[in-house]
Amino acid sequence: MLKSSLTRLALIAAGCCLLAPCVAVPATDAQPPRLSVPASSDAGPLVLAVYGDTRFTQRTDVVNAVARRALVARIASEKPAAILIGGDLVYEGNEPSDYQTFASETRAWSSEGIPVFPALGNHEFNGCAQDVSDCLANWWGAFPDLPLRPYRWYSVAIGSTLLALVLDSDSPLRPGSEQRAWFEQQLTGAGEQVKFILILLHYPPVRDPIFPHTRDEQEVARYLSRHARSLPQRVLVIGSHIHNYERYLRDGVIYVVSGGGGAKPVPAPRIFGEQSHLKTGVNFHYLRLTLRNDSLSASMVRYEAGKADADAAWTEPDRFEIRAKH
């Protein structure tokens, strides 16, 4: 069990909250925080759940709440070592009640002590067109055990071999920007022990071109096209924003769109090199990542709302694996 009593005792001894990961490198004025998820106490694999566009809200016209709750419950049953959410956690970022809905519907996560690492999405800023301070305050306040304030991006060391970079794709990522400098430093300074780098952001850098790019997310793909092959780590990029599932391979990097957390579905044409070749138009889902010593495997766990047979509602129609370089 990933949440063994030995692991919990180790966390207590380290002074860490059981409802949040330990902080490996504290935030300073110049550096966003690096958080950590400890390796399994029995040296077994670490399981992570990753997805986006959950849209926790009481509104019923902008989300399939049945699918959202089913995914939350299924993730809780897997007892992952951590959950990463790629933005649009809520529908209205200036509405505290949306964050209250998140807290109440995910009590199964918090009761198991499963840490949640969020990325900012465009809906986190809904209702704060002129001044985003209230929206950011709501976002930071929803995760009191994470030392994120005043930062909008950060990193997470997961076990000893995976580094997750959680970006804010609503902030500049162009060369010369603050976030870009941090991003490059994290990639080049990851260390030899790290075998995999997971980049999590809201706007997916690679997706079907029918969907226009919104901010600077393409800068991530441009940088990786030039440098990913020379990195000692394998790189996986997961975005959301598009309320569906897509998978691409570009210049040795796997790019996934995982936006099936409950928001109203949008069609995915699945052309221009899309590799999952799914035939289903509606794909509520999350990604289950399994981290072993030399591999990172992924399964797309799909939920089909409306199935009379509860077991038949769950399938895993797409899988892939990334092997360490060395």
Domain boundaries, the chain: 5-323
The superfamily CATH assigns to domain 5-323 is Metallo-dependent phosphatases (3.60.21.10)
Q: Beta-strand (E) ranges in 31-123?
A: 34-37, 46-51, 82-85, 116-118
Torsion of CA 93, 172, 216, 325, to 10 degrees: -100
pLDDT of the residue at 231 = 97
Residue 212 tokens, joined: 């226009």
Query: What angle is formed at CA 152 by the lines to CA 175 and CA 179, rounded to 5 degrees?
Result: 10
Average pLDDT over residues 68-72: 98
The region of weakest confidence among 4-8, 92-96, 299-303, 320-324 is 4-8
Residue 29: predicted pLDDT: 53
Listed range (58-72, 74-88, 136-150, 305-319) with the worst mean pLDDT? 305-319
pLDDT digits (tens, 9 = 90+) for 124-138: 999 998 899 999 999
CA distance 318 to 290: 14
Structure tokens at 78: 């897997």
User: Each residue of 27-65: pLDDT tens digit?
Assistant: 445 799 999 999 988 888 999 999 999 999 999 999 999
- At 283 the pLDDT is 97
d(CA 232, CA 248): 21
Average pLDDT of 2-13?
A: 33
CB burial readout 297-321, b (16+ within 10 A) else e: ebbbbbbbeeeeeeeebeeebbebe
- Cα gap 4→15, rounded to integer Å: 17
Share of the chain above pLDDT 90, in %: 81
To the question of pTM greater than 0.75 for the whole model, the response is yes
Q: Residue 303 above 70 pLDDT?
A: yes
- For residue 184, give the H/E element and its range: helix 178-188
Q: How confident is the model over 199-255, as pLDDT tens digits?
A: 999 999 999 888 888 889 999 999 999 999 999 999 999 999 999 999 999 999 999
What is the tens place of the pLDDT at every residue in 78-91? Answer: 999 999 999 999 99
Three-class SS state of 317: strand
Looking at the predicted structure, is the pLDDT value of residue 20 above 80? no
Judge whether residue 177 has pLDDT over 90. Answer: yes
